[in-house]
Amino acid sequence: MKKVHVYVTLKRGVLDPQGKAIQKSLNSLGYEEVVEARVGKYLELQVEEGPNLMGRVKEMCDKLLANPVIEDYSFEVEEAIHS
């Protein structure tokens, strides 16, 4: 079993009203040093081992996990810890 971490972010230039709201809220709570906030998604997948794991995760991102028109993604694979 492998654990895959996927990070999905809005492309540079795409407006992020949720991030803007978070930045303004932080500023009004007294954290005036925050000049920008951008919000993305973080996914953890547990995947059974098989051939071409990297390629298949890339396909999952392109088809379902990210919207390639407005989002970028990256991912990394780690050995899952047995518990």
- Residues at the site binding its own copies, with contacts judged by CB under 8 A: 1, 7-9, 19, 22-23, 25-26, 29, 31, 33-50, 56, 59-60, 63-65
DSSP secondary structure letter of residue 14: S
Q: Please, what is the minimum distance in Å from the beta carbon of residue 14 to its own copies?
A: 13
Which 3 state secondary structure label does DSSP give 25? Answer: helix
Q: Please, what is the minimum distance in Å from the beta carbon of residue 49 to its own copies?
A: 8
C-beta of residue 80 within 8 angstroms of C-beta of residue 5: no
Q: Please, what is the minimum distance in Å from the beta carbon of residue 69 to its own copies?
A: 19
Among positive and negative, which fits the CA dihedral 21, 26, 41, 67?
Answer: positive
